Amino acid sequence: MKKSERYVSTGITGFDKLFQHGIPKASSVIVAGGTGSGKTNFCMQILAHHASQGKPCYFMGFEESEERLIEHMENFGWNPQKLIKSGNLKIKRFLTSEIYYYDRKRGSDIQAMMTKEIDPLLMELEPLSLADNVGFKPDFIVLDSLTAISSTFRGKEQSYRFYVERLFRFFEKIGSTTFLITETQQIPEIFSPTGVEEFLADGVIAIYNVRRGNIRKTAIEVLKMRGEKHQKKIVAMEVTDKGVKVYPNKEVFSR
Amino acid sequence: MKKSERYVSTGITGFDKLFQHGIPKASSVIVAGGTGSGKTNFCMQILAHHASQGKPCYFMGFEESEERLIEHMENFGWNPQKLIKSGNLKIKRFLTSEIYYYDRKRGSDIQAMMTKEIDPLLMELEPLSLADNVGFKPDFIVLDSLTAISSTFRGKEQSYRFYVERLFRFFEKIGSTTFLITETQQIPEIFSPTGVEEFLADGVIAIYNVRRGNIRKTAIEVLKMRGEKHQKKIVAMEVTDKGVKVYPNKEVFSR
Amino acid sequence: MKKSERYVSTGITGFDKLFQHGIPKASSVIVAGGTGSGKTNFCMQILAHHASQGKPCYFMGFEESEERLIEHMENFGWNPQKLIKSGNLKIKRFLTSEIYYYDRKRGSDIQAMMTKEIDPLLMELEPLSLADNVGFKPDFIVLDSLTAISSTFRGKEQSYRFYVERLFRFFEKIGSTTFLITETQQIPEIFSPTGVEEFLADGVIAIYNVRRGNIRKTAIEVLKMRGEKHQKKIVAMEVTDKGVKVYPNKEVFSR
Amino acid sequence: MKKSERYVSTGITGFDKLFQHGIPKASSVIVAGGTGSGKTNFCMQILAHHASQGKPCYFMGFEESEERLIEHMENFGWNPQKLIKSGNLKIKRFLTSEIYYYDRKRGSDIQAMMTKEIDPLLMELEPLSLADNVGFKPDFIVLDSLTAISSTFRGKEQSYRFYVERLFRFFEKIGSTTFLITETQQIPEIFSPTGVEEFLADGVIAIYNVRRGNIRKTAIEVLKMRGEKHQKKIVAMEVTDKGVKVYPNKEVFSR
Amino acid sequence: MKKSERYVSTGITGFDKLFQHGIPKASSVIVAGGTGSGKTNFCMQILAHHASQGKPCYFMGFEESEERLIEHMENFGWNPQKLIKSGNLKIKRFLTSEIYYYDRKRGSDIQAMMTKEIDPLLMELEPLSLADNVGFKPDFIVLDSLTAISSTFRGKEQSYRFYVERLFRFFEKIGSTTFLITETQQIPEIFSPTGVEEFLADGVIAIYNVRRGNIRKTAIEVLKMRGEKHQKKIVAMEVTDKGVKVYPNKEVFSR
Amino acid sequence: MKKSERYVSTGITGFDKLFQHGIPKASSVIVAGGTGSGKTNFCMQILAHHASQGKPCYFMGFEESEERLIEHMENFGWNPQKLIKSGNLKIKRFLTSEIYYYDRKRGSDIQAMMTKEIDPLLMELEPLSLADNVGFKPDFIVLDSLTAISSTFRGKEQSYRFYVERLFRFFEKIGSTTFLITETQQIPEIFSPTGVEEFLADGVIAIYNVRRGNIRKTAIEVLKMRGEKHQKKIVAMEVTDKGVKVYPNKEVFSR
């Protein structure tokens, strides 16, 4: 495999310049940020970019309805209807409880997968019934959000720990490049629901929503990307009429 | 649908100027602030504005009595009696336990809705017995407060997580533009009871009650509004004899 | 009702100037402050003022003995004995457990009122057996302190939430103007035991016990007063030989 | 009773000058400070002062042995042996579990006193079997420490709340002036084990162990004293060869 | 044994200069740092260095796949395939649950080892079934990460305490020099999952990921190394194309 | 007993100058510090000093092996082998679970000692089976660490409270001067595992590991020493080739 084939771009103006080559294919990347920071737009734009180039892309959400998401994409001029019709973009919203409870269709036992006395054989079970829902093996997945999944495990931290480990291995096994959105405070210091997921992930991208006097500025940083050299700085980001733009030479923090 | 029909104004002087078009119709918007910051006045004024234009509006509260709320509206000169008589404004106060316990009238089982072994069919149940109480489909709803609801779920965080997800989907389904008040510290950093609701909501408006030396100043910020471009700054707000006023060009934080 | 009849003064020099008219009658007002900040003196002085004008006043405490409280009033020259004899002032100390456990005299079941499977009918029960103890309907009540009551519910947060909601409605129903003392840190940031009560209350008055170098200064602020316009600043307060004095034009925080 | 008979001095040089008259007789006073701040010396000196003037004094400790305490008093030149022989000073060390478990000698049931379904009659039980141990009604009591007692109630916060309320009432009933030592951080912000005791107490004296560069300085403040006017400042304190000295005009905090 | 034989180098340019002799052989060394700080690269480089000199080395991971780890090593030009073929480097990834649950192959009972009523005989059991998996006694072990192991014990803190004590003794017994990665915040203040492991370890190396304005800088410090004198300062570290480099004379913190 | 016989020195250059006479014999002294601060070296040096003068000394550890500890002492030139052969120094490592579980040899029931329904008679039991292990009554004991013991009581805080009280009384009874190491953060603010032990102890010595820019400096302070006057300042400490040195006139904190 040629070096250029081992990396993917995001298609986000300015952002790809933060990497030497790009994001290593099949990486699991956490995208962390506060409410209103533009995490979903950021990830959706990556999918639109790749779907328009003929790659199968899958958006798995727990928050906004499919209709609303499509509306937002239209506002940015990304032609979602065309991408969906072409079969390259699939958008689906779930209920968090669908993750947690018995998966009737597939006959498997997700709840068993999360019990303490777990059988090593259960390891083979897929933590997300992906195949049924999509009908294709996606090259790119966005999961909006990992925090929504983790919230269904309240009071069952040990089960969640085992679950999340298998979730990352599952993405690894199917070979998709995956973006996992996590919901943090406006200036994230811990980048994932329990602080453990950020170590399991191959990459961590943090979006900051910084107050400067009476103005709020958005900034982005590649905090970690395994197997790839990247710039170690925090740079300006903006959500414009055409989508997200990153300014790799513009600073945000005054000190 | 024309673009102008897809957005609603608030009718609050100065505040609507923070948006390019307005608040997207049918959005769920969190209004977060500390005690005495003017959250209820802010939301009530939006209802008075739309009710006076013939739109059905519904205020669901857990705190002040209907009489008191009407008195406050009279003080601001909003003619609540006329709005109520016209059938466009409905104000009702609940007990938080009415949310939590068995709903006798409708024969449904809200408590079942919150149990762990939840049946997907129960998803169809309405988390608020809205229809019975109003007699009309409101275009605008104010819920005062989401924090009051969440407090009834103490020690049952997982149930609350499922409940709140369905509550947001319920508002989505009926198509009302909804304002959910959340009770925070004087300078909010987390904008909702468990920090999860702010990610489920389409919009977050934060009201700050800032101490400057010996003076307390109020400020407001649109932190997030899905599907709409808005100004990213914190501006002055005041509660005057005529109601809430926002000064989109007046700064509050000195740095 | 004339406007002037809809508000009450406190009779505390300087403090009433912070309001446009006064405290709306029948309000529930939280008075928050640290140990030694003068909360009890502040509230007792309001009672003494109104009792001396022939209004029935009731002090419900959990801390100091009746004898001691009367002694302090005498020190300030408020003639407590005369006020008590006239029947306008009643002072009574309870044990916190009297709130919590079975109320034998009245035959009602307060504990049932706090159980989870609460019956809507129980809503009618009075959370405080007020009538038995006083023999009159007080115009003014001081509860010293709400924190003492909340502490009896440790580990039963959900029950407390239901209880406190009904407590506020009870005060609302009997129409007394009520001052609920809450015990906070020296510079309060949360103004009530669980942070929820301050949203249920109609008003919040905060007393600050600020260290300036080696000196401790006391300051007071009206943080919230529903249905009334008030000054939004923090001003000096002092406990003198004659009682509490507030200096509405004297600043305490240097920045 | 003459005014001068209603107050007691501490006999500590400089400290009594912080009060207008002194500490009101029969008060319960919390003495709060960090490890090594001199709390025990401070309280023991008060007892030595009054015992040498013929008043019955009682030191109830949970930490140092009687021998050690006597040794320290000798070091300061307070003649403990003579005071003990005269019958005016009694020093006794307990095990914390003696507080908590069944009191065999008296036949009473302390544990019952702490159960949830408490009977109002039990209110009459004495929370400390004082009489048996002393043989006299002390005018002054030092309890070293309230924190030691509270630590035996770990995980039983509600029981402790009821216990501590009755403890303060017990001291009130027997009419002793009581000093209750509490163990805090070096610069106390909360002055008692659960933050509740400081509101039940009549007085709070805080000892600060402040680091100034590489030097540690001790300071003292009367934070609260019900029924008595006191200076509101933080002043220097020192433990010398002759005991504790307070400098009412010497400042410690530079700002 | 000669002095030079009692210590090992790391082979990391600049880092070995922080020690007088090196790391004492058979030490257990914690390597603490935030996500993206380069902990795994740092440790892998030590293994590559020693494996290339003919020492048996073992990498035990819970996060990245073997393939990915090998890929990263190739990127740095460390010839992993050759080292593995030579039998000197072994890389193996586990599931955290394999640590926690019954070890079928060896017939031992790891779960029993962790129960409360532990039998002293069980102390002899090996907490990691090392021998089976490697086929050689490693001179160097990297465990990536100790945090992953600790996370499997959520809610069983006492068991973990006993487990981790035996884990350290196990490494001590087999005489390997062991590097245990711990996952911390970006600027670690506690260096291990429960704050206890750092006291059991012989050495603690902390990696800091410091934000300076808009730039992120990496720094490293030897915080502790039992039985060896080391420099007590924080110096710059960089991950270059050739691997980790440490600059023992370059400062990072401005003050 | 002569005054000079009532105190002991530590033998650590510079440190003894912080006291008027020395540490009162038979004191229990907490030595608190972060990882790598030199707590164990500090205490071991005291034992070496006294053992070389013919006093029986006992090191009870839970962390490093006996061999390693002896090695470190050799590095400092303290002749551990000679001291051990003379019978004056005994070093022994325990497993924390040996503290917690049934003590077979002595036939006593340590676990019973820690149960809630404790019998006062059990108070007589020795919390450490010291005699069996040493064969002599030590004049000096080092316990490395009290934190290790406390960690075995996780989730049994009340039992620990009773245990630790008896542990201090046990050391008091046998009359040894005891140094109890506690493991804290790098700049300790709480000096013992639960914050209670520091009040039970007769003395508290705190070791600070302070970062000054890019350099780490060590400092030491006597925070408390009952029955002895000591300097109240924080002074420099260093671990040299010959052991610990304290510089009583060298400052570390710049302000």
Mutation site, F40, F151, F207, interface E, largest E CB count within 10 A: F151
pLDDT (tens digit per residue) in F164-201 = 888 898 888 889 999 999 999 988 888 999 888 999 99
- pLDDT of D117 reads 38
Residue of D21 and E126 predicted with greater confidence: D21
pLDDT (tens digit per residue) in D113-169 = 434 333 333 344 456 655 455 567 899 999 999 999 888 777 777 778 878 888 898
Peptide bond into A97 cis (omega under 30): no
Q: Is the pLDDT of residue E78 over 80?
A: yes
Q: Is the pLDDT of residue E5 over 90?
A: no
Instruction: Looking at the complex, report in whole angstroms how far the Cα of residue A251 sits from the nearest Cα belonging to chain E.
Output: 6
Q: Is the pLDDT of residue C10 over 70?
A: yes
Q: Which chain E residue has the Cα nearest residue F75?
A: E227
C-alpha–C-alpha distance, residues A249 and A234, integer Å? 9
Q: Is the pLDDT of residue D171 over 80?
A: yes
Q: Is the pLDDT of residue E117 over 80?
A: no
Contact exists between C and D (3 or more beta carbon pairs < 8 Å): yes
pLDDT (tens digit per residue) in E215-228 = 999 999 999 999 99
**Average pLDDT per run of 10 along chain B, which is 255 residues long?**
83 96 97 96 98 96 94 96 96 79 42 39 49 71 93 78 85 92 91 92 96 90 95 95 95 73
- pLDDT of E130 reads 54
- The listed range with the strongest mean pLDDT (A121-130, C48-57, E145-154) is C48-57
Query: Phi/psi of residue E231, each to 5°?
Result: -70, 140
Q: Residues with Cβ < 8 Å from E230, sequence gap 6 or more?
A: E18, E19, E20, E222
Q: Is the pLDDT of residue C70 over 90?
A: yes
- pLDDT of F156 reads 75
- Is D221 in CB contact (< 8 Å) with chain C? yes
- pLDDT of B152 reads 78
Binding partners of A (≥3 Cβ pairs within 8 A):
B, E
What pTM did the predictor assign?
0.89
Residue range F36-57: average pLDDT? Answer: 97
Give the Å distances, CA to CA, from B177 to B144, B174, C146, D250.
14, 9, 37, 63
Q: Is the pLDDT of residue F104 over 80?
A: no
Q: Is the pLDDT of residue D196 over 80?
A: yes
Interface of C with B in 122-181 (CB under 8 A): 123, 157-158, 161-162, 165-166, 172
Residue range A122-129: average pLDDT? Answer: 50
- Is A232 in CB contact (< 8 Å) with chain E? yes
pLDDT (tens digit per residue) in F72-91 = 999 999 999 999 999 999 99
How many C-beta neighbours within 10 Å does residue D121 have? 7
- pLDDT of F91 reads 95
- pLDDT of F124 reads 44
User: Is B69 within 8 Å of C227 (Cβ atoms)?
Assistant: no
Residue range D213-229: average pLDDT? Answer: 94
Instruction: Looking at the complex, report in whole angstroms how far the Cα of residue D157 sits from the nearest Cα belonging to chain C.
Output: 7
Of the candidates B117, B199, B255, which has its C-beta nearest A183's C-beta? B199
- Is E48 in CB contact (< 8 Å) with chain F? no
pLDDT (tens digit per residue) in F120-171 = 333 444 566 554 555 678 999 999 999 998 887 777 777 788 788 888 988 8
Which residues on A lie below 8 Å from B177 (Cβ)? none
- Is F74 in CB contact (< 8 Å) with chain E? no
Q: Residues with Cβ < 8 Å from D115, sequence gap 6 or more?
A: D159
pLDDT (tens digit per residue) in F200-231 = 999 999 999 988 888 999 999 999 999 999 99
pLDDT (tens digit per residue) in C130-153 = 545 556 789 999 999 999 988 877
- Is E198 in CB contact (< 8 Å) with chain F? yes
Q: How confident is the model at residue A129 (pLDDT cuts 50, 70, 90)?
A: low
Given an 8 Å threshold on Cβ–Cβ distance, is F97 in contact with E117?
no
Could you tell me the two tokens for D19? 């009060």
Q: Which of D228, D255, D173 is nearest to D23 (CA)?
A: D228
Residue range C192-204: average pLDDT? Answer: 93
Given an 8 Å threshold on Cβ–Cβ distance, is B232 in contact with A217?
yes
Mean residue pLDDT of chain C comes to 85
Q: How confident is the model at residue A213 (pLDDT cuts 50, 70, 90)?
A: confident
C-alpha–C-alpha distance, residues D171 and D176, integer Å? 6
| Least confident segment among E122-126, F12-16, F115-119 | F115-119
pLDDT (tens digit per residue) in C22-47 = 999 999 999 999 999 999 999 999 99
Given an 8 Å threshold on Cβ–Cβ distance, is D36 in contact with F223?
yes
Which residues on F lie below 8 Å from D239 (Cβ)? 229
End-to-end Cα distance, chain B = 43
Instruction: Looking at the complex, report in whole angstroms how far the Cα of residue B167 sits from the nearest Cα belonging to chain C.
Output: 21
Residue type at position D80: P
The number of residues making up chain E comes to 255
Residue range A91-111: average pLDDT? Answer: 60
Given an 8 Å threshold on Cβ–Cβ distance, is A199 in contact with E65?
no
Q: How confident is the model at residue F1 (pLDDT cuts 50, 70, 90)?
A: low
pLDDT (tens digit per residue) in C54-69 = 999 999 999 899 999 9
